Chains A and B, each alone.
Chain A
């Protein structure tokens, strides 16, 4: 079973933007929005490259999303679902902040 691992300090994050972390050999995109962290796989299933951490965040209706940087599909940060194409989704990971440190469970 996977465990929460500490990845970085919240000072390494940028509000409303993403960073990329290497956890257990996987690329994980971590977003920092309104004081909370969200983690999804960094792999963009359409462009077939690791890049989601470099997308712009925002909301569509009530859903928090990130726009894939190359072709601009939107992925729900909580469920991993692709808004434009319901057959697509990306893995989501649990994430939290404790004592100013960021933890993810991959």
Chain B
């Protein structure tokens, strides 16, 4: 049987989602897919478009895994617009002249930004906000100008305003209606939102109609309003709504709605039985949706039908929750109470700037809608109540009144939801899907994301999904056990705070007061780590020794043959020839295998315990310090040569790296930390793969945080731009100390951030805006730790008591037996086989 040919017009969010779903569907082997992509790049995430301005690249935004289309035999026509459809012959023709026959055609042409017919709307600096090309133009104009105005105070307009503000422009929002977000908010909510946004430095002008845009006096443009007022601006960004792209459909005679949009039925069929329309171009039941979730639902309906199942799209909920410039906003159902008899409850908290309203049926039994501004925590709860038509409590206002410790917290906990409740609207994941995932072994939010995709779209559902996950795990007796181990019913964070508040500095006190048993390798190591983070406790002090992993305890990593590595610190990777010679001499004398390692420094392997103090004595005398490759602490700060030598270098990355390394060396943390400093955006130091990364720009340093190489690489997030060195230190001080205080055991900054509620924005708030008012305290604590730094190995060299630990035997003075083999002119551990065959040599006759 020949394959059914599916042609998709438009490779936007929904077009791509459709293909992804079809590829994943059972019957995919029976299909052959072709798609026309008008844009110069494959589908990307418009929802996160504005993050382009905070450092995300077009590749980061891409929704298509490299190779996905090729591997699945999907033929994509890039940069090629479909210009004609022959509904009779069932063919599509493109701009480039390609003609393809189809069995089924899917229109996913999206929409375009509506530009109001104002005179002058096509002047230079007048722009829209929908594609990456639009963003590039906005960026170019922003580089030249100082002021930007967004026309339209809806959801997208406010997001555009944020982008302009982030680009450093004086930003205004002009809205025709008397309030912001007129569709989603009521007067009270909108007024509070306006106040908050203005506090962030964006000027909001409501009830303003623009009549003309003309030459400006001080800027490139001047906007003139119906009330006679004017506003000078360089950029005018139109965000006054969207219109479905239905021109091609109209041209070939498909039926449109009275105000546009390709008319579809519940099966997403257009007026032609072999043509579907999905996403923003489609008009269903009188509505065109400007959100992505309904588009995904339509895509699913079509995929199901192609697989021979019956399916329908019955309309979608348009509730939204978002963070606009750091302000939480939620809108559910009908927030205006359009039903005349509907009742509403309002809670307004002036000092804390919170506004909440719910609209309920006249009998007070069911929820019709809600508005939340300033605190949208109740969003998922309320949304579920409405979507599942659940009965309200006797006093519905309890749902929005603050719960000040009065109990009854979970009026509607995750257990109250039916299994059919949709938790993640972006990927249509229900509570039942989450339960199935838990059944099949998912235990963490990360598992859930990987298995069900829940939470990987807009992220709005994460809290709710997490609640369901925890509640399901608890039911299965997988207590969501956050206990460190059988000896302590506490998390690392709790233990840290206990030790800090009670000034506990040794394990026996800690376990006798707060734990049970003798402890184990997990809680002992964690406690030792906490004592070091709090008090700079030294691993070789009597009370600390039993708490250390062998690596920490012998100040070197134990290798597979029981010998240790020697890794001196080489700050920033800069090393003098004299020091190199000393390293060479030491390696020669003690017959150590020598390698340049992945952290831009030199490692000597194969040192026997009893040689370690003498090796380090030579190194310390030559000016080396411990590189702490064994510790949960700062490892290396990788640098490129930077402006001193490199023709592209903008700043002296080496000096910066050395200063960073010296500033944070010795700082004990929940896991190891790595940093990198590059002299320009070419990024030779790979700073974006580090816990802390700096990249020099024309105007200072860009700070990246929480990146990671290793098992699960994660690109660092741009945290703040154009910083001075002082600002860098201040932010990094705060961030690291906050990490040390709150992270879990062996949690690197990348996973820490991914698990931090509120994510990057929250972290920025804490560190940059000092929202918790702990900035100074964090800095002081870090300064105290820095002040008591001492090189681990210097202390051993200077104190014979510590050196005693490094004897091979307590009762005799000889070295332990150790077998090596020579390879490429150096020694390496003998394999079991070599030992048996007697090839191995017992060495360490010192030269």
Contacts and interface: CB of A to CB of B under 8 A. Distances in A.
B695 to A, nearest CB: 38
B422 to A, nearest CB: 43
13 contacts: A8-B810, A14-B545, A20-B810, A30-B810, A48-B832, A50-B816, A55-B521, A57-B518, A57-B546, A58-B521, A58-B523, A59-B520, A69-B558
Interface in A12-46: 12-17, 19-23, 27, 30, 33
- Most chain A beta carbons < 10 A, residue from B558, B809, B816, B832: B809
Contacts of B832: 48
Contacts of A19: 810
A101 to B, nearest CB: 11
Interface string B680-723: 00000000000000000000000000000000000000000000
Contact of A56 (B542, B546, B554, B816): B546
Contact of A17 (B523, B546, B816): B546
Contacts of A67: 520-521
Interface string A56-73: 111111001101011010
Contact of A59 (B519, B548, B562): B519
A65 B520 CA distance: 8
Report, nearest first, the 10 A-B pairs whose CB atoms are least far apart.
Answer: A58-B520, A16-B546, A59-B518, A69-B550, A67-B521, A49-B562, A56-B521, A17-B546, A54-B550, A19-B810
B816 A58 contact: no
A58 B524 contact: yes
Q: Mostly helix, strand, loop or mixed at chain B's interface?
A: loop
B520 A60 contact: yes
B542 A15 contact: yes
A2 B345 CA distance: 87
Contacts of B517: 58-59
A88 interface: no
A100 to B, nearest CB: 14
B814 interface: yes
A21 B518 CA distance: 24
B136 interface: no
Contacts of B547: 56
B560 A22 contact: no
B489 to A, nearest CB: 16
A51 B557 CA distance: 13
B553 A22 contact: no
- Most chain B beta carbons < 10 A, residue from A17, A33, A48: A17
A75 to B, nearest CB: 12
B811 A22 contact: yes
B168 to A, nearest CB: 52
B562 A51 contact: yes
Contacts of B198: none
A7 B809 CA distance: 10
A55 B550 contact: yes
B561 A17 contact: no
A54 B507 CA distance: 18
A17 B545 contact: yes
A8 B812 CA distance: 10
A30 B550 CA distance: 16
A14 B520 CA distance: 16
Given A51-B550, A54-B558, A56-B546, 11 more contacts: A8-B811, A14-B545, A16-B518, A20-B809, A22-B811, A22-B814, A51-B558, A54-B553, A58-B487, A58-B524, A69-B550
Nearest to B829: A49
A59 B518 CA distance: 5
B626 to A, nearest CB: 19
Nearest to A6: B811
B80 interface: no
Interface residues of A, number: 36
A48 B830 CA distance: 12
B521 A49 contact: no
Q: Mostly helix, strand, loop or mixed at chain A's interface?
A: strand
A98 to B, nearest CB: 16
A22 B809 contact: yes
A23 B811 contact: yes
Contacts of B545: 14, 17
Given A7-B810, A51-B562, A64 B550 contact: no
Contacts of A15: 542, 546
B808 interface: yes
- Most chain B beta carbons < 10 A, residue from A54, A55, A56: A56
Contacts of A65: 520
A46 B6 CA distance: 57
Interface in B491-517: 507, 517
Contacts of A61: 486
A102 B644 CA distance: 62
B525 interface: yes
Contacts of A13: 810
Contacts of A56: 520-521, 524-525, 546-549
B835 to A, nearest CB: 9
A15 B507 CA distance: 12
A21 B809 contact: yes
A48 B519 CA distance: 26
A70 B558 contact: yes
Contact of B560 (A8, A47, A55): A47
Interface string B103-127: 0000000000000000000000000
Contacts of A12: 810
Contact of B518 (A14, A33, A55, A74): A33
Contacts of A20: 808-810, 816
A27 B811 contact: no
Contacts of B548: 56
A102 to B, nearest CB: 9
A20 B809 CA distance: 5
A103 to B, nearest CB: 12
A102 B419 CA distance: 65
Given A14-B542, A56-B521, A67-B520, A7 B811 contact: yes
B558 A60 contact: no
Contacts of B812: 22
Contacts of B816: 20, 27, 50
- Most chain A beta carbons < 10 A, residue from B507, B520, B547, B812: B520
Contacts of B560: 47, 49, 70
Contacts of A72: 521
- Most chain A beta carbons < 10 A, residue from B562, B808, B816: B562
Contacts of A60: 486, 520
B562 A14 contact: no
A21 B389 CA distance: 73
Contacts of B542: 14-15
Interface string B361-387: 000000000000000000000000000
Nearest to B548: A56
- Most chain B beta carbons < 10 A, residue from A13, A16, A50, A55: A16
Interface in B548-569: 548-550, 553-554, 558, 560-562
Contacts of A58: 487, 517-521, 523-524
Contacts of A33: 518
Contacts of A17: 545-546
A74 B522 CA distance: 12
Contacts of B553: 54
Interface string B217-261: 000000000000000000000000000000000000000000000
